């Protein structure tokens, strides 16, 4: 599942493949930008911002969001793509490689000076060079909703998805429905930062320290299975800011009481 750590690794891979090279092929297969052409421009850098990718080319930024299914893949010039061509939404090619975004949910092109129109609403970035733990904790404490909802709101802190939210609350011993204003927000965001940084460079994400299949998670997608800490069956429900934004929540009724 693409969360902040996945996006960070994707940005690093794209940057290594594209930065400093001239664009020889540019194709956005989305109606609004279908005629855009940045061939002849130079790729300056590719950077992550929470769960968003920013590819800075010439004076423009190609912004993309992976959502649930999206992925960027890099192929050598002339190499056969390892995904169906009809899933391609964005192609940025140089003399050496093609970077292809498959099934990306968002693809926007704006002047780099206008990036804030797309990502300016985001809170402190857990993997960003300007990570501000105090500001993230302040935003969490000011949120009147359940803590699980608050930490998934990218306006509070950027980079966490549902898997992280569930695992984070288990490790901190917090019931997901607890009001955000009632938790140790400073401790929560400090643990979140340690978690995502530990996974940032791993090929296989783990929260338990064990990378064996079925052992990487404490609670996420483990409903009715015994808690790895106390043996109590893990429970599952849905929780969200609205009925249409509910996410699946997993917790241990003993460890998170």
Are the beta carbons of 151 and 160 closer than 8 angstroms?
yes
Q: Which residues pair with 102 in a beta bridge?
A: 71, 88
pLDDT of residue 243: 58
What per-residue confidence (pLDDT) applies to 244? Answer: 55
């978690």: which residue's tokens? 195
Catalytically annotated residue among 49, 51, 56, 222: 51
Does the active-site annotation cover 233? Answer: no
Q: What's the pLDDT score for residue 68?
A: 82
Is 247 assigned a catalytic role? Answer: yes
**Residue ranges in the chain modelled with pLDDT below 70:** 1, 241-244
From 71, 138, 197, 247, active-site residue: 247
Check if 3 is active-site: yes
DSSP H stretches of helix in 77-129: 116-119
What pTM did the predictor assign?
0.92
Cα separation, 185 vs 56, in Å, equals 34
């Amino acid at each position: 599942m693409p969360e902040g750590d996945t996006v960070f690794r994707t940005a690093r891979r794209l940057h290594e493949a594209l930065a400093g090279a001239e664009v020889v092929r540019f194709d956005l297969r989305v109606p609004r930008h279908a005629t855009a052409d940045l061939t002849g421009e130079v790729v300056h850098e590719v950077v992550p911002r929470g769960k968003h990718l920013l590819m800075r080319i010439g004076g423009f930024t190609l912004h993309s969001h992976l959502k649930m299914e999206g992925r960027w893949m890099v192929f050598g010039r002339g190499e056969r793509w390892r995904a169906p061509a009809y899933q391609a939404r964005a192609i940025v090619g140089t003399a050496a490689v093609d970077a292809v975004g498959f099934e990306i949910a968002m693809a926007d092109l704006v002047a780099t000076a206008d990036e804030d129109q797309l990502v300016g609403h985001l809170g402190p970035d857990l993997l960003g060079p300007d990570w501000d733990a105090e500001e993230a904790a302040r935003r969490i404490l000011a949120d009147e909703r359940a803590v699980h909802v608050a930490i998934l709101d990218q306006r509070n802190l950027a980079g966490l998805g549902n898997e992280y939210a569930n695992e984070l609350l288990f490790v901190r011993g917090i019931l997901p429905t607890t009001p955000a204003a009632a938790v140790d927000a400073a401790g929560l965001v400090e643990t979140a930062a340690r978690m995502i940084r530990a996974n940032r460079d791993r090929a296989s994400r783990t929260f338990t320290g064990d990378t064996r299949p079925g052992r990487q998670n404490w609670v996420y997608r483990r409903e009715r299975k015994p808690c790895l800490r106390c043996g109590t069956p893990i429970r599952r429900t849905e929780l969200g800011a609205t009925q249409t934004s509910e996410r699946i929540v997993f917790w241990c009724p003993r460890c998170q009481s």
